[in-house]
Structure formats: structure tokens, C-alpha cells
Amino acid sequence: MVLDLIGVAITFLAVAVGAWFLAPYLVKVFQGQRVFLSPVLRPVERGTYWLMGVDETKEHSWVGYGLSVFMVTIASLLFTYLVLRLQDHLPFNPMGFGPVPADLAFNTAVSFTTNTNWQNYTGEQTMSYFSQMVGLVMHNFLSAATGIAMAVALVRGISSRQLKTLGNFYVDVTRATLYVLLPIAFVAALVLASASPPTPTGRTTRASRRCPTSPRWSASSCTTFSPPPRASLWRSPSCGGSPAGS
């Protein structure tokens, strides 16, 4: 019970601290003001509007905003469902996986579309690379950006009773993706990559130098304790072996 309360307190504290620093940035982003990322991302933003045929100066009423949310949600759900069902006909399927069963494909599509991300399967044994990269990863950004856009629209509606429009849904989703989600994903990727450097090639790992001490093991059988596949061409010198091929 005490640990649960501590966890709740830490969560509220983290949100409060994050809001203190991020709120001014988010206000500028969703009001279309210039931020420190604008020199890089503003051309990408304009190009995105051009590709979608969106006029960023045109705002939606609450009905138009809601319909836009509904249409994008349904379209992305159907897209993911079709990708999962047709993955055996799509590229990047080296394992030759067949189509995802209809019930599992629909459950997964709904889950990722609603930003629940409930995975009732083993991805590496069920879905192709294309299904994961295109069908699912898309929702890691689109569903989150949709939630952010709806929150921004809610704040706009509460802030003034005289507003007749709530903004442009497509503009809000684009800005949430480019200025909020992608920078967070980029920084997180760098942190994760730096925290787990790859094993240098041409060297044996510490685990590969350990030999069993039991009398029933001989030096020649030390290859049983082999390194991971990338370093499997090397035997442990300390066990009396030598690099393979030498």
C-alpha cells in the first residue's frame, strides 16, 4: 500500500515538473509560433500539409473536428487490419508468415488504433517486418498524436465560450507528431542505443572464457560454452583452443 502511494506521488510529481517545462513549448507549437525546432521542422510541416491537401489556416467547428478524428481513426484501423491480414502478400516477410487470424488482426488493429497497444501475440513469431514497421509503428505516433490533438481541442473549447472553431485536426496531429513525438522518440533512441553498445567483433566475451571445472569436462569440450552467434567463430584461448580458421 505504501509503495503504491509512493508510486502515485512520484507520477504526479513527474507530471507537474514536466508540465512546468513543457507547457510553454506546447502552447507555442499548437498556436503556430516559432520554436527552436522550427528552422528544421517548419519546411517538413509545410510539405506535409501540401501532400495531404490541407489548408493550415482553415479551422474546424466541433462537428468538423470530431468527424476528422472519426475518419482518421477508422481509416487507420482498417489499414492496419488489411496489412495484418495480407502480410503474406506484402514485402519484408523473410520468415514466410501467413496472414494473421481475423480475430487477432482485428483485436490488434483496434488496440493500437486506440493507443492501448495490447499485444496478444509474439511479434517475432506472428508478424512480418512490414506488418510491425508499417501497420503497428504508425499507430505509436498517429494514435498518440490524435490523443494530444483532442486534448488541445478540449482546452481550446474550455478556454473560451465564444469560440466557433476548435482548430484544424490535421494541423494539430501534424504538429504533435513533428514537434513533440518525433523529438522524444529521437532522444529516447539515442539513450537506448548508447546504453546497449554492440559486442565488438573479433573478441571473445567474458562468458566465453569460462571453462567448466568439473572433471568430466575436457579442454576440447569448452566449445559447449560458446559466445553468441556473432562471435561463434572464436574459441576460448584460455581453454586450449584457438580461433577457428587459424
How confident is the model over 56-91, as pLDDT tens digits? Answer: 999 999 999 999 999 999 999 999 999 999 999 999
Which long-range CB contacts under 8 A does 95-104 form with residues at least 24 apart? Answer: 95/128, 97/126, 97/127, 97/128, 100/126, 100/127, 100/131
pLDDT at residue 224 tops 80:
no
- Provide the domain count of the chain: 1
pLDDT at residue 232 tops 50:
no
Q: Would residue 221 count as lying in a domain?
A: no
Q: Would residue 25 count as lying in a domain?
A: no
Q: Taking Cα atoms as reference points, which of 239, 173, 171 lies closest to residue 204?
A: 239
In angstroms, the CA 222 to CA 208 distance is 9
Q: Which tens digits make up the pLDDT trace of 36-46? A: 999 999 999 99
Per-residue pLDDT averaged across 212-216, rounded? 46
Q: Would residue 92 count as lying in a domain?
A: yes
Q: Which residues contact 198 (CB under 8 A, 6 or more apart)?
A: none
Higher pLDDT, 19 or 181: 181
The pLDDT assigned to 146 comes to 95
Q: Would residue 165 count as lying in a domain?
A: yes
Average pLDDT of the chain, as a whole number:
82
Q: Would residue 45 count as lying in a domain?
A: yes
pLDDT at residue 96 tops 60:
yes
Q: Would residue 175 count as lying in a domain?
A: yes
The domain of 124 spans 38-195
Q: Would residue 10 count as lying in a domain?
A: no
- Residue 44, number of CB atoms within 10 A of its CB: 12
Q: Would residue 31 count as lying in a domain?
A: no
